[in-house]
C-alpha cells in the first residue's frame, strides 16, 4: 500500500526500452559464458567474475526503476532470464516487486526462494500486503514470517486472512489515521505534521469515539479549507459511506464507482473501525473480476503467466476442454438416433449444425447480458419479471425474424419448401429454448449464491446443441420423411 515515488516513473515506451536493455544484459552474459566454456581450466573463476559484473550491472539498472516497472519487466521475461533478473534485484525492493507481479508470475519467483530469504523479504511489507501474497507463500516460510511479526501485526494479518476473497475484509488495509471529534483542526494539523507522512490514498481522516466506533470522516479538503480554530465535530462529515467487514466486495466496488470514493472506513456490526478500503484495491478487483469472467467465457481456468511451462498452461486449459468433449459427444448422440432420417435426406446433415450454432449464439447473448446486469447490481426482485418478459418477447421476435431468414437461405440453396419450413420452425423453437436456458442458468446460479458466469456458456451450448439437433431432426422425420 506504500507508494514509493523514489524510483523513476516512465511511459510504456520507456518501459519497453528498459526491458530491451535488461534482455541485452542477460544475453550478453549467456554469450560470454558460452565463449568462456571453450577453455575449461579457467571456466569457474571467469564465470564467477562475469556473473558478479553482470549482477552489478543489472542491480544498477533495477535500482533506478519503480517496483511496478520491475514487476512488468519480470513478467515479460522468459523463465530462465526471469530468475537471473530476480536475483539481481536489491533486497530493499523485493517485497514491493513481489506484491506487484501477477499471481502466476509470483509463484515462479517464490518457488526458487528459501524460507529464510522469503521471510526477510516479506518483513519489508505491511500486514495487508503480506496478506495479498500469503496464498503463494509456502507454509514453512509463512511460519517464519508470523514469528517475525509483533502481536498487533499478527492480529491484523489474521484478521485479513480470516475473510474469503469475495468479502471486503480480505481487501482492507490498516493505513487509516483516526482522530477524536473534540480536537480542533489546528491540533489535527499539528498531529499530522508530527506523524511526518500519511499512508497513501489518505483523502480523509476517520473520527472515532473512545470505543473505536466511527462517528464521521474529516476529508483533507475540509481540514485545509476550514478555520483552524474550529472543532473536528463541527467540520466532519457524518453522512459518509462505510462498509461492513463481511460485505460483498462487488457491492463495495459499485459503491466506489457510484460515489467516486478514494478511501472508506470498514466497520464491524457494532460500527467499530476494523480497517480501511482504498480505490487501488477496488481497481485491481474490478480488473481481475472482469478478466476472470472473460477467461471463464473462453474456458480458461485462470490468467496465465505468459512464460509458464507448457505443461502448466496445458493443465490450465484442459479442464473445460474435457468437459466440452463430454458435452459434445453427448449432444451428437442425438444425431445418432436419427441416422435413418439422415440417410433418407442427406441435406439434413449440412443444415443441422446451423440450428445448433444459432441457438448457442442467441442464448449466449441473453446469458451474457444477464450476467453483466447481475454484476452491476441492476437486476432486483422488483424488476426481474419484467426483464424476463422482455427477453421472452425478444426471443419470439428473434425467432420469427431469424427463422424466416434461415428458411429463405435454405429455400435458395435446396429449392425445397417443406425442408425450408422445417428449418424455419426448428430455428424458431430452438431460439426460444436458447433464451429460456440463457435466462434460467445465470439467474438460478445467482439465486443460489454461485457465480453466474462460471459454466453458463458450456451448459448453455450443450443444451442448445442437443436441442437444436433433436428439434430439427425430429421435425424432419415427422414432416419430410414418408
Q: Which of residues 206-265 bind a copy of itself (CB under 8 A)?
A: 220-221, 224-227, 237, 239-241, 247, 251, 254-260, 262
- 385 in contact with a copy of itself (CB under 8 A): no
CA distances from 338 to 41, 359, 476 (A): 76, 20, 10
* Contact stretch for a copy of itself (CB under 8 A) within 37-45, 109-117, 147-155, 284-292: 284-292
| Closer residue to a copy of itself (CB): 146 or 387 | 387
| Closer residue to a copy of itself (CB): 38 or 197 | 197
**Degrees (nearest 5) of the Cα angle 290, 292, 293?**
65
| Closer residue to a copy of itself (CB): 145 or 168 | 168
**Placement of cell 422425420 in the chain:** 477
- 387 in contact with a copy of itself (CB under 8 A): yes
* Contact stretch for a copy of itself (CB under 8 A) within 89-97, 136-144, 154-162, 380-388: 380-388
Stretch (H or E) spanning 275: strand 273-278
Q: What is the DSSP letter of 169?
A: G
Q: How far is the CB of 341 from a copy of itself (least distance, A)?
A: 10
- From start to end of 105-233, where are the E strands? 178-179, 204-208, 214-219
Instruction: Tell me which residue of 250, 254, 327 sits closest to 293, measured CA to CA.
Output: 250
* Contact stretch for a copy of itself (CB under 8 A) within 41-49, 112-120, 134-142, 317-325: 317-325
- 350 in contact with a copy of itself (CB under 8 A): yes
CA distances from 450 to 335, 381, 386, 439 (A): 33, 17, 23, 15
- 103 in contact with a copy of itself (CB under 8 A): no
247 phi and psi angles, rounded to 5 deg: -75, 155
- 63 in contact with a copy of itself (CB under 8 A): no
Q: How far apart are CA 190 and CA 192, in angstroms?
A: 5
Residues 450-469 contacting a copy of itself, CB under 8 A: 461, 465
Q: How far is the CB of 468 from a copy of itself (least distance, A)?
A: 10
* Contact stretch for a copy of itself (CB under 8 A) within 122-130, 142-150, 162-170, 329-337: 329-337
267 phi and psi angles, rounded to 5 deg: -125, 160
Q: Which residues contact 344 (CB under 8 A, 6 or more apart)?
A: 481
| Closer residue to a copy of itself (CB): 22 or 119 | 22
The DSSP code sequence of 345-408 is: -THHHHHHHHHHHHHHHHHHHHHHHHHHHHHTT---TTTHHHHHHHHHHHHHHHHHHHHHHHHH
* Contact stretch for a copy of itself (CB under 8 A) within 52-60, 63-71, 136-144, 165-173: 63-71
- 55 in contact with a copy of itself (CB under 8 A): no
Q: How far is the CB of 157 from a copy of itself (least distance, A)?
A: 21
Q: What is the DSSP letter of 362?
A: H
* Contact stretch for a copy of itself (CB under 8 A) within 2-10, 45-53, 154-162, 207-215: 2-10
Instruction: Tell me which residue of 110, 108, 44 sits closest to 81, measured CA to CA.
Output: 108
Residues 12-31 contacting a copy of itself, CB under 8 A: 12, 16, 19-20, 23
Instruction: Tell me which residue of 248, 224, 250 sits closest to 235, measured CA to CA.
Output: 224
| End-to-end Cα distance, the chain | 75
| Closer residue to a copy of itself (CB): 28 or 154 | 28
The only residue of 36, 50, 233, 342 in contact with a copy of itself, by rule CB under 8 A: 342
- 481 in contact with a copy of itself (CB under 8 A): no
| Closer residue to a copy of itself (CB): 50 or 404 | 404
Q: How far is the CB of 147 from a copy of itself (least distance, A)?
A: 30
Q: How far apart are CA 77 and CA 4, in angstroms?
A: 23
Per-residue binder mask for a copy of itself (CB under 8 A), 110-129, x = binder: --------------------
Residues 400-419 contacting a copy of itself, CB under 8 A: 401-402, 405-406, 409, 413
Q: How far apart are CA 75 and CA 19, in angstroms?
A: 10
Per-residue binder mask for a copy of itself (CB under 8 A), 129-168, x = binder: ----------------------------------------
How many chain residues touch a copy of itself (CB under 8 A)? 134
Q: Which residues contact 211 (CB under 8 A, 6 or more apart)?
A: 272
- 197 in contact with a copy of itself (CB under 8 A): yes
The only residue of 195, 418, 444, 481 in contact with a copy of itself, by rule CB under 8 A: 195
Instruction: Tell me which residue of 356, 296, 304 sits closest to 320, measured CA to CA.
Output: 296
**Placement of cell 471486503 in the chain:** 168
Residues 71-90 contacting a copy of itself, CB under 8 A: 71-72, 75-78
- 56 in contact with a copy of itself (CB under 8 A): no
Q: Residue 53's CB: how many other CB atoms inside 10 A?
A: 13
- 287 in contact with a copy of itself (CB under 8 A): yes
Q: Do 469 and 352 touch, CB atoms closer than 8 A?
A: yes
CA distances from 299 to 85, 95, 303, 317, 466 (A): 33, 33, 11, 7, 20
Q: Do 64 and 89 touch, CB atoms closer than 8 A?
A: no
| Closer residue to a copy of itself (CB): 81 or 120 | 81
Amino acid at each position: 500500500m506504500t507508494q514509493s515515488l523514489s524510483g523513476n516513473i516512465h511511459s510504456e515506451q520507456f518501459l519497453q526500452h528498459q526491458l530491451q536493455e535488461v534482455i541485452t544484459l542477460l544475453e550478453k552474459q549467456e554469450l560470454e559464458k558460452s565463449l568462456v566454456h571453450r577453455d575449461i581450466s579457467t571456466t569457474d573463476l571467469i564465470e564467477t567474475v562475469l556473473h558478479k559484473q553482470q549482477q552489478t550491472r543489472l542491480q544498477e539498472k533495477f535500482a533506478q526503476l519503480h517496483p511496478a516497472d520491475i514487476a512488468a519487466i519480470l513478467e515479460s521475461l522468459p523463465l530462465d532470464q526471469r530468475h537471473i533478473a530476480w536475483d539481481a534485484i536489491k533486497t530493499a525492493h523485493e517485497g514491493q516487486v513481489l506484491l506487484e507481479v501477477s499471481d502466476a508470475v509470483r509463484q515462479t519467483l517464490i518457488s526458487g526462494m528459501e524460507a529464510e530469504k522469503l521471510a526477510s523479504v516479506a518483513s519489508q511489507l505491511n500486514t495487508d500486503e503480506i496478506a495479498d501474497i500469503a496464498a503463494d507463500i509456502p507454509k514453512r516460510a509463512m511460519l517464519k514470517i508470523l514469528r517475525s511479526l509483533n502481536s498487533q501485526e499478527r492480529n491484523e494479518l489474521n484478521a485479513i486472512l480470516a475473510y474469503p476473497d469475495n468479502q471486503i475484509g480480505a481487501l482492507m488495509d490498516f493505513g487509516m489515521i483516526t482522530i477524536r471529534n473534540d480536537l480542533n483542526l489546528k491540533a489535527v494539523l499539528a498531529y499530522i505534521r508530527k506523524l511526518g507522512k500519511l499512508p497513501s490514498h489518505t483523502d480523509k481522516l476517520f473520527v472515532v469515539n473512545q470505543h473505536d466506533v466511527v462517528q464521521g470522516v474529516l476529508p483533507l479538503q475540509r481540514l485545509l479549507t476550514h478555520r483552524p480554530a474550529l472543532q473536528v465535530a463541527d467540520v466532519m462529515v457524518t453522512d459518509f459511506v462505510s462498509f461492513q467487514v463481511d460485505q460483498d466486495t462487488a457491492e463495495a466496488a459499485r459503491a466506489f464507482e457510484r460515489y467516486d470514493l478514494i478511501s472508506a472506513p470498514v466497520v464491524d456490526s457494532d460500527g467499530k473501525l476494523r480497517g480501511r478500503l482504498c480505490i487501488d484495491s477496488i481497481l485491481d478487483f474490478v480488473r481481475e473480476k472482469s478478466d476472470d469472467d472473460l477467461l471463464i467465457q473462453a474456458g480458461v481456468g485462470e490468467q496465465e503467466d505468459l512464460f509458464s511451462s507448457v505443461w502448466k498452461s496445458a493443465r490450465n486449459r484442459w479442464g473445460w476442454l474435457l468437459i466440452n468433449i463430454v458435452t459434445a459427444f453427448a449432444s451428437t448422440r442425438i444425431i445418432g438416433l436419427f441416422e435413418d432420417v439422415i440417410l433418407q435426406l442427406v441435406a439434413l446433415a449440412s443444415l443441422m449444425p446451423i440450428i445448433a450454432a444459432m441457438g448457442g449464439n442467441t442464448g449466449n447473448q441473453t446469458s451474457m447480458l444477464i450476467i453483466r446486469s447481475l454484476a452491476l447490481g441492476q437486476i432486483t426482485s422488483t424488476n426481474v419479471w419484467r426483464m424476463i418478459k422482455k427477453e421472452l418477447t425478444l426471443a419470439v421476435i428473434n425467432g420469427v425474424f431469424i427463422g424466416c431468414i434461415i428458411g429463405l437461405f435454405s429455400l435458395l440453396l435446396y429449392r425445397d419448401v417443406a425442408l425450408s419450413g422445417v428449418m424455419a420452425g426448428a430455428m424458431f423453437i430452438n431460439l426460444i429454448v436458447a433464451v429460456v436456458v440463457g435466462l434460467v442458468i445465470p439467474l438460478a446460479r445467482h439465486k443460489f449464491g454461485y457465480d453466474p458466469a462460471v459454466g453458463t456458456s458450456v451448459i448453455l451450448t450443450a443444451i442448445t446443441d442437443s436441442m437444436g439437433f433433436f428439434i430439427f431432426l425430429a421435425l424432419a422425420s415427422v414432416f419430410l420423411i414418408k
